[in-house]
Chain A
Amino acid sequence: MRERITFIQKLGDSLEPSALKVTGSGISGPEVRAVREDRLTLALDELPTELHTLLKGVHELHIRWVSPIAFETVSPLLARLPPGLHLFYTPGRTSDTTTSDNLCPALVKTFGNIACLTPAESFTALQNDRFSHSTTFQYFQPLESLSHFFSYAKGQLCPASDSSCATRLDSLTQASSLDVSYDTISHTLKITALWPYQRQAIQATARSQIRTEVGVLSSEIPPSIEPHELGISGLLTVLGQDSKPSATMFTFPSRHRDAQSGFSTKFLEPTGLHPTLQIQLDSNRPPSDDSYCSAHAYFTLPRGVFADKYQLADDLFLASKNLTALRYISQPVDLEAPEYVMKQWGSAVLLELSPPPSSEKAQPWTAEIPLHLRYLSPAQGGYANIEVPYPAVFWACAAEEGTLFPNNPFERVNLGYDGLFGPRTVFWHVDPHPQQQQQQQQQQEQKGSVVRATNTIRVPVLDLDKAQWVNVVTAITVLLGFGWVAWKLFSVYSRSGHQRVVSSEPNKDKKWQ
């Protein structure tokens, strides 16, 4: 078991080694503005039996949760995902399906209210032949918090003797994202938590039997850096081993970079049953002048809302919305079924956006995504809400021929969209900057002063308060209509029977020939 704790500051914010106080029991330092990332790496046999058994049948499993509350992060921890719970899964190569059968119940047990029945019913398949480095299955659902996971973990993972374990788990409730990753190649389980860019004290405690390494780092641009590289410098300390931090500086090629612009999204009013999501981007200038770049938006749409791939096939229509093409949509997407009969999680959509031609000065622009609502279950009051997570918006640029992206210390792969691009693609992330909306302001009063990276649609549904007469009155009306028509038929019959009334004029009936 080992742990890595990293504080990353922005370019130019560095810390003198003397500011850090290293003791036998830990490290402490001043308050800095930084992102904090904790990564715990566990060997398979260090896990509780239940989890151990489950993971044995897994080839690859990545569970990633992103908070619906908007947060800021810094380079190189930029690989954004839409807020919610993402799951990427490749079953083991055996014919034993126990793991797949147990996966959904295990998720429900661990994360609480997860609408997953079996991988076959609820997951969508990623085409493995085309995207060789993606997992086989994908699952997503919006999830407000990991509170259920934390109480589960306290019971399962923390030994009763170790109170620091529970304290650490409590601090995780403030994290903005959490990744749990396992693959058979490394045979290790990695748990990575990220706290957003904010003022926080540098503080870490050494724990027995765990090697804990603490880095206090910041972005750096050394003179020798290549255009496709990022630089990092700072101080590294192994707790309980080093008596003082040692300085470090390194450069590495990074797949995920900062486009240094922002975007926000909103639904155009009125939303109706065919809402249009508008993406407002700050800049139409590609982040890199040297390579070919195209703007993309990657959505994970909950099952209540979907995009119609047939509608998104017409060039003229796409152009009118500032879209270039629908690059990917998970299959199948039932275009008719109501939400309440769906078993599949929803759909993943990758759209290429079409920015107006870029000029000297960066200009704001918008793209519009036409979506469709499913019928939702009837509810009291006649309306139900659907919360649609923000997409991940990025410029995908082709890296120079020959560039390789070996795993860097902050690499994050299997994000859903990375597998849809070639291996030499660099993702320049546009930062989500949600605007406060009216609906959000109302929610804010309940949830405190936060801005959510989601959009809420109010969906009209059948109002249960008014539904008590529907069955009776419909039945009476149909019987009334039926009775009226039957009565008319009876009148005709009683007047002239069912035979043809032969016309009184002779020789008109030419049938007798």
Chain B
Amino acid sequence: MANPTQISPSSMRTATTSAGKRKKRVSFAPSPEVTTALSMSSFFARPLPLYLSAALLRMVFLLYGLWQDANSPLKYTDIDYLVFTDAARFVAQGESPYARETYRYTPVLAWLLLPTTWDASVWFSSGKVLFAAADLVAGWLIERVLVSGDGGQGTPMEVATARKYACIWLLNPMVATISTRGSSEGLLGVLVMALLSAVLARRVALAGLLLGFGVHFKIYPFIYAPAIVWWMDRERIGSPASRDKLGVSGPETLFGRIVGFVTPARVQLAAISLATFLGLNAAMFMLYDSPFLQHTFLHHITRIDHRHNFSPYNTQLYLASAFPDLSAVRIESVAFLPQLALSCLLIPLVLGKKDLPTAMLAQTFTFVTFNKVCTSQYFLWYMVLLPLYLPQSSFIKNKALGISALALWVASQGMWLQQGYELEFLGKSTFLPGLWIASLAFFLVNCWVLGIIISDVS
């Protein structure tokens, strides 16, 4: 059971205080600010200080966690990590990872964590080290994408400035906490960033591999496929000759458009990602049979998510699951419509070609906001893309807007957490109206923020 109360929204705070470009302009003026500005820019001038601090931050958290686990009955380590490592132990004994109840992931994750089963107890934490390392790589990829200036509408960014934005991810205590507690979401972060940078670098085969693997790993990255495919038009990827032939003077018939849409790059991406996804699934199915299908994929279709979470549908689903015959429409089967219409169709269509990273951010934000289940771990999914959007965002340009958005996001979430606390720990029946209203309010705030993100793309 995911516990949404564990994570503080501190990353947003970091986002608004790291004031990117403004610091550069004052660097000639001899004022008290200069010293901080200088030391700030010298911190970001070379890669070592930032990445070393990010690594140190995680190391401190990791060691603190070891200490807390050894000395307190309240554990720092996430329950999910115990699930992963138990599954890895089953694999090490030649059994199926699905022998561990509630293991709902690809066997690849258990394989990656095989070192945690090695004899010496220090190895037990190796999975956390892996997740933390994935954080750092994701941060480095953020920096690279910002520097290339490829994705967004922005021009290539100076490395030091790029690092300032990357530190929203790298030095974010929430991100560091989640990975050092042993949650695998950090791996998703690096996968998605690697996918994005492979696409922007026009490495189609690599992008296909990453997309196929990402979907196999956690399903949701499939939403990126339409945006990436849409983005990959002949103007961006294709030989100059074919561009001249079709792009400039081709007749605007429907057939012509369809033929024009099917580019070699698009076909290659579709083929490779599909082959990777299906190949991995076929291999896993051969190894672990139906438990693999059941726990990795089918579970997400059949699960009854009654436990309270941030999703606006939660109260309705609780009602519907208890009285399945009463509701005229099956909410479970209708709820995905607005979610997928926005995140897989409309956002990719309108934003994909204009600004791929922001489109992907909006897609992820929509997917999480409109999902039937929403816990704070899911916020990490869009947080990794935030540094790519923030430089040109209204939230940075208009401080008042930025602060009020953050305040509303925090307040509505806080309202929900307070109601959740009363339910979970005090046993008060806050399902109605408290939790329900709070989740709807949080949903509306998220939609409002989403609207601003979309409007920022021009």
Q: Show the binding face of A for B, using Cβ within 8 Å.
A: 270-274, 310, 314, 316-317, 319-321, 332, 335-338, 340-341, 375, 377-378, 382-383, 458-463, 466-467, 470-471, 473-474, 477-482, 484-489, 491-493, 495-496, 498-501, 503, 508, 511-512
**Closest CB-CB distance, B121 to chain A, in whole Å?**
13
B residues near A273, Cβ cutoff 8 Å: 423-425, 427
| A341→B304 contact, CB < 8 A | yes
Give the distance to chain B from A124, nearest Cβ to Cβ, in Å: 15
> 1/0 per residue B429-446: CB within 8 Å of A?
111110010001001101
Select which of A319, A382, A479, A511 is within 8 A of B235 by beta carbon: A511
List A contacts of B319 (CB < 8 A): 378, 462, 467, 470-471
Interfacial chain B residues near A335, Cβ < 8 Å:
1, 101-102
Q: Are A478 and B338 in contact (CB under 8 A)?
A: yes
Q: A378-B322, A482-B447 are in contact. List 18 more A-B contacts (CB 8 A).
A: A270-B426, A272-B425, A310-B86, A336-B303, A338-B321, A340-B322, A377-B322, A460-B430, A463-B429, A466-B432, A467-B319, A470-B432, A477-B443, A478-B443, A489-B350, A500-B354, A501-B153, A511-B236
**Contacting residue for B315 out of A320, A382, A462, CB 8 A:** A462
Binary CB contact string for chain B from 350 to 364 against chain A (1 if under 8 A, 0 otherwise): 111111000000000
Q: Is B455 an interface residue (CB 8 A)?
A: yes
Residues of B within 8 A of A462 (CB): 315, 318-319, 322, 429, 431-432
Asked whether B282 is an interface residue with its Cβ less than 8 Å from the other chain, the reply is: no
B342 contacts chain A at the CB level, 8 A cutoff: yes
A461–B435 CA distance with the chains assembled, in angstroms: 12
Measured between beta carbons, the chain B residues less than 8 angstroms from A477 are 312, 440, 443-444
Taking a contact as CB atoms closer than 8 A, the residue among A340, A383, A473, A501 that contacts B354 in the complex is A501
Q: Who on chain B is nearest to A493 by CB?
A: B350
Picked from A341, A460, A493, the residue with its CB within 8 Å of the CB of B321 is: A341
Which residues from chain A contact B457 at a C-beta distance below 8 Å? 492
- Contact check, B316 vs A460: say whether CB atoms are below 8 A apart: no
Docked complex Cα distance between A463 and B322 (Å): 12
Chain B residues whose C-beta falls within 8 Å of the C-beta of A341 in the assembled complex: 304, 321
Residues of B within 8 A of A471 (CB): 316, 319, 327
Listed residue (B102, B303, B427, B432) with the most chain A CB atoms within 10 angstroms of its CB: B427
Can you sample 14 A-B contacts with CB below 8 Å?
A: A272-B425, A273-B423, A338-B322, A463-B431, A470-B316, A471-B319, A471-B327, A474-B436, A474-B440, A489-B454, A492-B354, A495-B458, A499-B353, A501-B153
A119 to B334: give the CA distance in the assembly, Å.
36
Contacts of B428 in A (CB 8 A): 460
Residues of B within 8 A of A499 (CB): 353-354
- B399 interfacial by beta-carbon distance below 8 Å: no
Task: Assess the B455–A488 pair: CB atoms within 8 A.
Answer: yes
Residue of B nearest to A460 (CB): B429
For the side of the interface on B, what is the size category?
A: 35 or more
Contact status A478-B349, CB under 8 Å: no
Given contacts A378-B319, A485-B366, contact A474 B153 (CB under 8 A): no
Q: Are B424 and A272 in contact (CB under 8 A)?
A: yes
In the docked arrangement, what's the CA distance between A271 and B73, Å? 19
Smallest CB separation, A235 vs chain B (Å): 55
Task: Report the 6 A-B pairs with minimum CB-CB distance, sorted nearest first.
Answer: A382-B429, A460-B429, A481-B447, A320-B73, A466-B432, A488-B451
Q: Is B219 an interface residue (CB 8 A)?
A: no
Q: Is B450 an interface residue (CB 8 A)?
A: yes
A375/B73 in contact, CB under 8 A: no
Q: Which of B78-131 contact A (CB under 8 A)?
A: 79, 82-83, 86, 101-102
Q: Which B residues have a C-beta under 8 Å from some C-beta of A? A: 1, 69-73, 75, 79, 82-83, 86, 101-102, 153, 155, 235-236, 240, 303-304, 306-307, 312-313, 315-316, 318-319, 321-323, 327, 335, 338, 341-342, 346-347, 349-355, 366, 369-370, 423-433, 436, 440, 443-444, 446-448, 450-451, 454-455, 457-458
CB neighbours (8 Å) of B240 from chain A are 512
Q: How far is the CA of A503 from the CA of B392 in the complex (A)?
A: 14
Are the C-beta atoms of A492 and B444 separated by less than 8 Å?
no
Q: Say whether B427 contacts A458, CB under 8 Å.
A: yes
Contacts of B69 in A (CB 8 A): 316
From A378, A484, A500, name the one whose CB has the most chain B CB atoms within 10 angstroms. A500
- Residues from chain B with a CB closer than 8 A to the CB of A496 are 354, 458
User: Do B427 and A271 touch (CB < 8 A)?
Assistant: yes
In the complex formed, the residue of A with least CB distance to B369 is A481
Instruction: Chain A residues near B447: list those with CB within 8 A.
Output: 480-482, 484-485
CB-CB under 8 A from B235, the residues of chain A are 511
The residue of chain A having its C-beta at the shortest distance from the C-beta of B338 within the complex is A482
Evaluate whether A498 and B443 lie within 8 angstroms (CB atoms) in the complex, with A460-B423, A477-B312, A478-B338 already known: no
B342 and A375 within 8 A (CB): no
Structural contact, B102 and A492, CB atoms closer than 8 A: no
In whole angstroms, what is the CA distance A156 to B245 when docked? 93
* Complex Cα–Cα for A462 and B73 (A): 32
Say yes or no: A314 contacts B433, CB within 8 Å: no
Find chain B residues with CB under 8 A from A466 CB.
432-433
A491 to B350, CA, bound (A): 10
If A480-B444, A496-B458 touch, does A383 touch B429 (CB 8 Å cutoff)? yes
Residues of B near A272 (CB, < 8 A) are 423-427
Closest CB of chain A to B72's CB: distance in Å?
Answer: 7
**What is the bound-complex CA distance between A272 and B319, given in angstroms?**
20
Of B73, B322, B327, most A-chain CB atoms within 10 Å: B322
A375 to B322: give the CA distance in the assembly, Å: 10
User: In the complex the two chains form, is B354's CB within 8 Å of A470's CB?
Assistant: no
- Could you tell me if A492 and B75 are in contact, using CB atoms closer than 8 angstroms? no
Contact, CB under 8 Å: B444 / A486:
no
Closest to A383 in B: B429
- B86's nearest neighbour on chain A, judged by CB, is A310
Assess the B427–A270 pair: CB atoms within 8 A. yes
* Bound-state Cα–Cα, A481 to B70, Å: 46
Chain A residues in 8 Å Cβ range of B350: 489, 492-493, 498
Most chain B beta-carbon contacts within 10 A, residue among A314, A383, A482, A508: A482
Q: How far is the CB of A47 from chain B (nearest CB, A)?
A: 41
A449 and B316 CA atoms in complex are apart in Å by 43
Closest-CB distance, B41 to chain A (whole angstroms): 25
Take A336-B1, A470-B432 as given contacts and tell me if A501 and B458 are in contact as well, using a CB distance cutoff of 8 Å.
Answer: yes
Do A270 and B101 contact each other (CB < 8 Å), given the known contacts A488-B451, A489-B346?
no
Report A284 CB to chain B, min CB distance, Å: 21
List the B residue with the shortest CB-CB distance to A512. Answer: B240
Once the chains bind, are B318 and A375 in contact (CB under 8 Å)?
yes
Question: Given A375-B307, A462-B319, A492-B350: A470 and B436 within 8 A (CB)?
Answer: yes
Q: A460 CA to B82 CA in the complex, in Å?
A: 29
Q: Which residue of B lies closest to A474 (CB)?
A: B316
Residues of B within 8 A of A487 (CB): 451
By a CB distance below 8 angstroms, the chain B residues around A271 are 427
Complex CA–CA separation, A320 to B430 (angstroms): 31
Task: Looking at the assembled complex, report how far the CB atom of A462 sits from the nearest CB atom of chain B, in whole angstroms.
Answer: 4
